[in-house]
Chains A and B, each alone.
Chain A
Amino acid sequence: MTPPTPSAAAPLEVTDESVEKPIASGSPKGGESRSPGRLAWKRFKRDRTGVISAYVVIFFFVVAIAAPLIAKLYGKDPYTTYASQDPSLLDAFSYPAGPNGGMSSQFWFGVEPQLGRDVFTFLLYGIRTSLGIAVAATILTVVAGVVVGVTAGYLGGKTDYLVGRVIDILLSFPSTLFFIAFMPVVYGIFVAPDDNIPTWLRATALIVVLSTFGWASIARLLRGQVLGLREREFVEAAKVTGAPPMRIVFKELLPNLWTPIIIQSTLLLPALVTTEAGLSFLSVGIIDPTPDWGVMIARGAQFYSQDITFMLFPGISMVLFVVAFNLLGDSVRDALDPKSKR
């Protein structure tokens, strides 16, 4: 390649800028040029599986966001025990009186055994809680991973070594066990031993614990990427022209890292959804009166042998979401990085 003389460096950087902007925006409206972002979008639109699963995923998010509105139109809420108002909903053994878990025109997804809450709104609000926590944890994890990974990779030397060892240790932590072991620690910091733990604190603690043990693998990946990019001509050129480190990180490195960052995020989100539900299932995360996917499955587990219908709703909806999101992730990966093999 051309030596990094100032005259050669300047055009190099200019061409680089023209490439990076559309990637960063990632939208199809990036002008008429065939930018990488636009090409990826075109590839994605051709992928029928990807588009369909995108619609399914969007459907879940819309349902989650609009849960209060839907509940209002439907006329019920997830907290009221309808059986205490209308005892005929449950039979003598506290199981739904109607067939199929008491599904009816009034209770679309049936009635919860024992307490007699409405399954439909409970599920809607449950999706809302679970997705909310998972999205927040994903964002926090990715941001932390990117910041640490890029810093370590760019600075190199002692910082890199130290961060590398911390990552090594974090990755040898048995994760589920640590999630469970450290939830009480996080609660303990904020709440006196015998006080009730408010729901917002449970959610926050989940987000904090999930991200604390999640950022390491992303950081490791990005560190490797930055190590490769750091030696490339355009970064050298930027350095020669006297660009401050911040500018190099944000304008030169980060635009080239969007693909791995997006790919990692699409892998992370469904994993965090299921982990969050798993913790709530073990009742170390969100607990009962608050609707949540995991709470609902834990409830269903108490009477699954008598009334399996209740369990099917949270279970199947979660499988559907995770399958759709994984398919979407695969398509996004293919679109952004067509050379990669799966």
Chain B
Amino acid sequence: MFRFLVRRVLGALVILLIISAVTFWLFYAIPRDPAMMSCGKNCTPDMLKQVRHNLGIDHPVPVQYWYWLKGIFVGRSYGDFGNCSAPCLGYSFANREPVLGTILDRLPLTLSLAFGSAVVFLIFGVGAGMIAAVKQGKWQDKLASSGSLIASSLQIYFVGYIAMYFLVSKLGILDNPSYTPLTHNPVKWASGLLLPWLVLALIWTANYTRMTRSQMVETLSEDYVRTARAKGMSSRTVFFRFAWRGAMGPIVTIFGIDLATLIGGAIITESVFSLQGVGRLALDAVNKSDLPMVLGVTLLSAGAIVFFNIIVDAVYASIDPRIRLA
């Protein structure tokens, strides 16, 4: 297990290194002034000069990348703009802040959005899928299947507005989406995010319903489940302890990947509900041509995907003893 983790983490770091290098290089490949791009829209000549100096435009791209990499470990000084201490992912000249600080500011909202909706869609998706598997071919099954087919075809940029129109503007059942930190006021935190959670969950549930159903149907017909039944175990024990445990693996896998995607920033969701999370930060950074910020958010998202993959593999192996970590 330990060797597996070490190897995978090293592999993940290599992937992140490559991703950051590719992002870096692609942005410099544009025949535009990278200093202009990093400086943002409201750039004064003084700032531009400083940015040029800090980016080291007189150096070739690999050297500039090296400075950026070095900044992560030893920090970097940005002259008049201030210092960026040890884990320095760069300095956003458009926001006049270190990149990491801004990302960490926005992260709680994105995490709340991700974990809150994950709880909802996991409960409903897996629950509906289990019911469909038990009532195979009956109306519950057909309802779950057709419901998930339609739900998975819905798009957040449409359903989000429809939900806001009916549930907030017309009926006033739910609050307008907003973010209050959990530590300030847990009730406001939940009520402000309830609508985004429900809408996100509506769309993401479908996948879990289908996956759970097909996995359960498959494991329920396996020999070991039949043996457990034949031994006279209660159907509840057979269902949850045997069949569900066998069916869980692939569901854990997609759940890990989905969670990573959500943490990396639900850009469209945050735009629809006007929430200022990491996704919006990324979109604004791209629109302002704020390269250091784009690079930072990209690294966060890619990091989430890569590390959740490792976690998923490790969890998978502990759920299903047939899988061995190689």
Contacts and interface: CB of A to CB of B under 8 A. Distances in A.
The finding on whether chains A and B are genuine partners in a shared complex, rather than unrelated, reads yes
A213 B15 CA distance: 16
Interface in A247-305: 270, 274, 277-278, 281-282, 284, 294, 297-298, 300-301, 304-305
B290 to A, nearest CB: 11
Nearest to B309: A172
Given A315-B162, A319-B154, A342-B214, A185 B26 contact: yes
Contacts of B271: 281-282
A342 B141 CA distance: 13
Nearest to A284: B286
Interface in A299-325: 300-301, 304-305, 308, 311, 314-315, 318-319, 322-323
B301 A177 contact: yes
Interface stretch (B29-37, B94-102, B107-115, B126-134): B29-37
Classify the secondary structure of B's interface with A: helix
Nearest to A280: B157
A283 B30 CA distance: 20
Interface stretch (B189-197, B262-270, B311-319): B262-270
A283 B153 CA distance: 22
Contacts of A158: none
A183 B26 CA distance: 11
A180 B165 contact: no
A211 interface: no
B169 A318 contact: no
B301 A185 contact: no
Interface size on B, as a range, is 35 or more
Contact of B283 (A180, A277, A308, A322): A180
A169 B302 CA distance: 10
A319 B155 CA distance: 8
A319 B265 CA distance: 24
A173 interface: yes
A278 B309 CA distance: 26
Nearest to A341: B214
Nearest to B265: A177
> Which secondary structure dominates chain A's binding surface?
helix
Contacts, number: 121
Contact of B302 (A172, A274, A301): A172
A323 B149 CA distance: 7
B150 A181 contact: no
B23 interface: yes
B275 interface: no
Interface in B287-320: 289, 294, 297-298, 301-302, 304-306, 309
A185 B305 contact: no
A181 B155 contact: no
Contacts of B31: 188-189
Interface in B42-74: none
B136 interface: no
B201 interface: no
27 contacts: A169-B18, A172-B305, A174-B301, A177-B265, A177-B282, A177-B297, A180-B286, A181-B23, A181-B286, A183-B286, A184-B30, A185-B29, A189-B31, A193-B36, A277-B157, A300-B161, A301-B161, A308-B162, A311-B162, A314-B158, A315-B155, A318-B155, A319-B158, A322-B153, A327-B149, A341-B218, A342-B210
Interface of A: 168-169, 172-174, 176-178, 180-185, 188-189, 193, 270, 274, 277-278, 281-282, 284, 294, 297-298, 300-301, 304-305, 308, 311, 314-315, 318-319, 322-323, 326-327, 341-342
Q: Which 6 residue pairs are nearest across A and B when measured between Cβ atoms? A: A174-B301, A188-B30, A315-B158, A322-B153, A323-B153, A174-B264
Given A169-B22, A173-B19, 15 more contacts: A169-B15, A174-B264, A174-B305, A176-B268, A177-B265, A181-B298, A183-B286, A188-B31, A189-B29, A193-B32, A278-B155, A278-B268, A297-B161, A298-B157, A304-B164
